[in-house]
Amino acid sequence: MAQVLEFKLPDLGEGLTEAEIVRWLVQVGDVVAVDQPVVEVETAKAMVEVPCPYGGVVTARFGEEGTELPVGAPLLTVAVGESATVADGDSEGSGNVLVGYGTQAPAARRRRVRTTTAGPGRRDDAPDRDATVPRNGTAGPRKGPSQRPEPAAPAPHARVSAPAPAPAPAFADGPVPVISPLVRRLAREGGLDLRRLSGSGPDGLILRADVEGALRAKDATPAPAALAPAPAVRGGGADRDGLRVPLKGVRGAVADKLSRSRREIPDATCWVDADATELMRARTAMNAAGAPKISLLALLARVCTAALARFPELNSYVDTEAREVVQLDHVHLGFAAQTERGLVVPVVRDAHARDAESLTAEFARLTESARTGTLTPGELTGGTFTLNNYGVFGVDGSTPIINHPEAAMLGVGRIIPKPWVHEGELAVRQVVQLSLTFDHRVCDGGTAGGFLRYVADCVEQPAVLLRTL
């Protein structure tokens, strides 16, 4: 007799209490292995795949894509035991769920195998069916989103005896050509059926512009009189019923953090223009030597860590309960990255111990993970200082909000040719505006000004940085 085990949404760490189902990776009737990812969820920190600690046959799923579940809520049920013919060791489960990682020692990798091909009129949640079960083995630690379990030899067919599962949500035949969670969310919130859309992207891929155009067309079509909702009346009777975007997920977390920063941190900002011509020349010379390319962001990060070594007050946070400023002896450098899902701040661990080449590689890795939505909660938390390169948006200056609970943020504007007095003569130089927003509780203007001036000196004369290496 098979035993049906319930797998609940695990504690994802970092104080997260809920997650939204983005995409199911298994269906009712699928055979799953221990530690196989079964669902992709979006938390307030990142998009992650959740592995199941049990091996067996999926008998029910709880929640459709787009549903928000609290930690501890049921995700799915799995039939395990002798009747399910689960490979030895799989029926007991791994006992742990660590998001983004396996929960057992590495061994043979496998894929999930569908028990049957559901035809027209056949329900995916049928309680009894033939199941093809993989050989014994457990999935090791997952090193990236591109790695998927490999095929393994199947075992003989077996019958599954399990209580009738709860009905599963209906699914359309064939996949909808959408890869962006943002596109799915916009369609869902606008009540749009993606199956009815023709995508304008490659191979019919549905893009954000397709969804937004369909929503505009939908809004322009009057609803039947009997079903038309009462118009929203605001501000003297004017109709102002616009598109509502829920503040949840990453955007909601950012909103909460920025609001808290404004409430708690008495911030101040100072700025200075600097001649970045010599820094740009130094980077060109470094990249001409045939070695791995060095990014401008990496050079600015090296300047930041050197400046923080001289002005450690800015690498700190305020313990409000103890009424103490806590200075840190390591620099975990955050950097702002704009993605389809909104603004995120990945963190480069131990940036003070990295050279320019290592920083370049880590910035590239984290930026790519941010764009694909595969950053882990650990890669988005724990920063001690933030570098914000808003020059990529074509602007010169900004007064950014500090990334709570950090104490400061360095902003870098665009680097553009401008008239500049150089060695007593007017010349065209590469000029950048640098700004420092800081928590006035951790230091006074003299310290903040000294930090910013040192950064500007390193930008204008990169040789200044050599004295700190």
Residue 232 domain flag:
no
Tell me, yes or no, whether 150 and 212 share the same domain: no
Integer Cα distance of 304 and 412 in angstroms: 11
Assigned domain for 234 exists? no
Active-site residue set: 440, 444
User: Are 283 and 332 in a shared domain?
Assistant: yes
In a domain, 253, yes or no: no
85 inside domain: yes
pLDDT at 348: 97
Q: Is residue 227 part of a domain?
A: no
Tokens of 445: 């203007």
Residue 85 and residue 124 in one domain = yes
**How many angstroms separate the CA atoms of 10 and 28, rounded?**
20
In this structure, the answer to whether residues 312 and 353 fall within a common structural domain is yes
Residue 27 is part of which domain span? 1-171
Residues 15 and 147 both lie in one domain: yes
Domain identity same for 292 and 216:
no
CA distance 23 to 48: 10
The verdict on residue 421 lying in a domain is yes
* 189 in the same domain as 274: no
Q: What pLDDT shows up at residue 149?
A: 42
| pTM of this prediction exceeds 0.85 | no
- Judge if 433 and 398 occupy the same domain: yes
SS3 288: coil
Helices and strands per DSSP (H, E), number in the chain: 8, 23
Residues 336 and 279 in one domain: yes
Residues 196 and 272 in one domain: no
306 plus 204 within the same structural domain = no
First to last CA, the chain: 68
Q: From the first residue on, what is the mean pLDDT of each consecutive set of 10 residues in the chain (469 residues)?
A: 86 71 90 89 76 91 87 90 49 44 39 40 40 39 42 41 41 57 73 81 76 78 47 50 80 82 94 96 88 92 96 96 95 90 88 95 94 85 94 89 94 96 95 97 96 96 77
User: Strand 47-51 vs strand 347-348: parallel, antiparallel, or unpaired?
Assistant: unpaired
How far apart, in whole angstroms, are the C-alpha atoms of residue 380 and residue 360?
Answer: 18
pLDDT at 444: 94
| 197 and 339 part of one domain | no
Instruction: Decide if 238 is inside a domain.
Output: no
Tally of domains in the chain: 3
